[in-house]
Amino acid sequence: MSIKVITEKCIGCGLCVKSCPFNAIDMIDKKAVIKDNCTLCGSCVEVCPVDAIVMEKEEANNKINIEDYKGIWVFAEQRAGEILNVSVELIGEGRKIADKRNVELTAVLLGKDLDENAKTLVKYGADNVIAVDNEKLETYTTDAYSKVIADLIKERKPEIMLIGATTIGRDLGPRVSAKVHTGLTADCTRLEIDDEDGKLLQTRPAFGGNLMATIICPNHRPQMSTVRPGVMEKAKYNEDNTGNIEKVEVSFEDGQLKTEVLEVIKSEKEAVALDEAPIIVAGGRGLTDKKGFELLEKLAEKLDGAVGASRAAVDEGWIEHAHQVGQTGTTVRPKLYIAAGISGAIQHLAGMQSSDCIVAINKNPDAPIFKVADYGIVGDLYEVIPELLEALDNVDDIVTALKSVEG
Ligand code: FAD
Ligand code: SF4
Ligand code: SF4
């Protein structure tokens, strides 16, 4: 979209200046002039009595040739030098898509001192790594990261760009897509390639998770998705994998970046790394009380796992939102997920049903959670869990025992 004033028509009435909520219009020589901070909200177009302001839709179709766009890109998010799990998951998914499209998979890595991480991404299966090493990229900022990635996309034209739907990815994805004039499907849970036309089919929950919507991006490139952490399978590390690592230099002019990171302060609260935990013990409304979580914590501690929760338990104020599993919480994929007093609503299942082994404890034998459970215990959790704790007391080393079961 673009906006312009037809100067010959403008009668200098000034109504548009008053109507603009962003103070984006000046009167110069009795003619309206629109400034750079215009957000294209359209208010001024409505009020102009002589139709002197026009908004025009750019014919994007004429501007890009879809055939020019080749290759799959994955944003390899790192924090404090550690590549996130979701980036490894995206490499796994990107690899499958690249093989199906018969194109190369490229990981885009931004930060500082990237050599080791770049090599690791190759071992996980990236054909290429674009490593942009700059001290201004050490810690994420919206303006620096979105500029660098958008410039790379404009120059090199990938057909698909995948970003993890982390706090950073959810900020970065829309900024980049707006800069390169393409669409973005947020929070995808499935990605496929259409066998007929090679387009990316991007599936995500819609209408409160009650249906799954598959979205395509037919006329613009790249096709961009953010993808929920924990949903896709991780790429396998292989020491024999080889690939190209390209170091790209960038520089920023004075004043180009509006944000500067002065200091990174870690949250005082211990982070709940639910998406990384191999074992999760989760509780729901069936706990009936905040104290129920003390019991779950004992079990989690014994299993060396983390504590999760349904939204109902979070809404009751029994536990913080950081522990919530599900559509509006964290998506998890642990080796073992124990759901106690959780009914198994679709929005909860959306966040945990890919777990390797699900154990459900519920006093209602018809609870939907039993449909996804590998093991179901029908009973009162306040009887079952103490018995479980007692039984575990008799196992010398439960974690080693579980690991041996995993093989
Ligand atoms: P309930 O459905 O009330 O189930 C409690 C269960 O405990 C029952 O099955 C009962 O039989 C059992 N029980 C009771 N007492 C005992 C006992 N003593 N021993 C054993 N079992 C017992 N939910 C999420 O979890 N995560 C989300 O991210 C999420 N996002 C949502 C997003 C949207 C847009 C919407 C509309 C809803 C979302 N929800 C989410 C809410 C979801 O629909 C359910 O309301 C919620 O998951 C129910 O939580 P629950 O299973 O703990 O509670
Ligand atoms: Fe102001 Fe909106 Fe008009 Fe832009 S489109 S000049 S922001 S009123
Ligand atoms: Fe000119 Fe229309 Fe603005 Fe009046 S409202 S100053 S005529 S552009």
**What are the pLDDT digits (tens) for 22-42?**
999 999 999 999 998 898 888
Q: Does residue 10 line the site of ligand 3, with CB under 6 A?
A: yes
Q: What pLDDT shows up at residue 228? A: 87
In CATH terms, are 66-248 and 274-406 the same topology? Answer: yes
- Looking at the CA of 15, which ligand is closest? 3
Ligand 1: centre distance to CA 349 (Å): 10
Looking at the chain, the whole-number percentage of residues with pLDDT higher than 70 is 93
Q: Domain 66-248 in CATH: superfamily? A: HUPs (3.40.50.620)
In this predicted structure, the answer to whether residue 207 has a pLDDT above a threshold of 90 is no
Under a CB-based contact definition with an 8 Å cutoff, are residues 309 and 283 in contact? Answer: yes
Q: What is the pLDDT of residues 335-362, one digit of tens each?
A: 999 999 999 999 999 899 989 999 999 9
Q: Which ligand lies nearest to the CA atom of residue 288 in the structure?
A: 1
Q: What is the mean pLDDT of residues 230-246?
A: 94
Instruction: Please give the Cα distance from 373 to 362 (Å, whole number).
Output: 11
CATH class (in words) of the domain with range 274-406: alpha beta
**204 touches 227 (CB < 8 A):** no
pLDDT above 80 for 59: no
Q: Note whether 351 and 329 are within 8 A (CB).
A: yes
The yes-or-no verdict on residue 405 having pLDDT over 50 is no
Residue type at position 289:
D
Domain residue spans of the chain: 2-56, 66-248, 274-406
Residue bearing the CA closest to ligand 1, atom 37? 347
* pTM as predicted: 0.65
Which of 203-217, 238-252, 384-398 is the most confident on average? 238-252
The CATH number of 2-56, from 1.10.10.10, 3.30.70.20, 3.90.79.10, 3.30.930.10, is: 3.30.70.20
The atom number, within ligand 3, closest to the CA of 12 reads: 6
pLDDT of 200 strictly over 80: yes
- Confidence band of 407 (pLDDT split at 50, 70, 90): very low
Residue 270 has pLDDT above 90, yes or no: no
Core vs surface per residue 20-53: b (16+ CB within 10 A) or e: beeebbeeeeebbebeeeeeeeebbbeebeeebb
> For residue 344, which atom of ligand 1 is closest to its CA?
51
